[in-house]
Amino acid sequence: MLTEKAKDAPATSPASHGAPASTDDLVAYFQGEYVALRDANVSIMTHAFMYGTAVFEGIRAYWNADQGVLYGLKLREHMERIRRNAGMLLMTDLPPVDELVRIVFETIRRNHFEEDAYVRPCFYLSGKSIGVRLHGLPHELTVLAVPFGNYVDTEKGIRIMTSSWRRNADDALPARGKIVGGYVNMAFQKSEAELNGFDEALVLTPDGHASEASAANMFVVRDGVLLTPPVNDDILEGVTRRAILELATTFGIPVESRSIDRSEIYVADEMFLCGTGVQLSPVIELDHRPIAGGAIGPITRQLHEAYFAAIRGNDKRFMHWLTPIPTR
Tell me which residues are annotated as active site: 178
Cβ neighbour number for residue 196 with a 10 Å cutoff: 10
For the packed helices 97-109 and 75-88, what is the interaxial angle rounded to 10 degrees? 120
Strand intervals (E) in the chain: 27-30, 33-36, 54-56, 59-64, 69-73, 117-125, 139-147, 158-162, 200-204, 210-213, 217-222, 225-228, 255-257, 270-275, 279-286, 289-290, 322-325
Residues 6 or more apart whose Cβ sits within 8 Å of residue 269: 220, 221, 222, 223, 291, 292, 297
Q: By three-state DSSP, how is residue 45 classified?
A: coil
Q: By three-state DSSP, how is residue 137 classified?
A: coil
Residues 6 or more apart whose Cβ sits within 8 Å of residue 136: none
Cα–Cα distance, 187 to 210 (Å, whole number): 18
**Could you tell me which of 321, 327, 317, 235 has the C-alpha nearest to residue 274?**
235
Cα–Cα distance, 319 to 328 (Å, whole number): 22
Residues 6 or more apart whose Cβ sits within 8 Å of residue 305: none
Cβ neighbour number for residue 128 with a 10 Å cutoff: 14
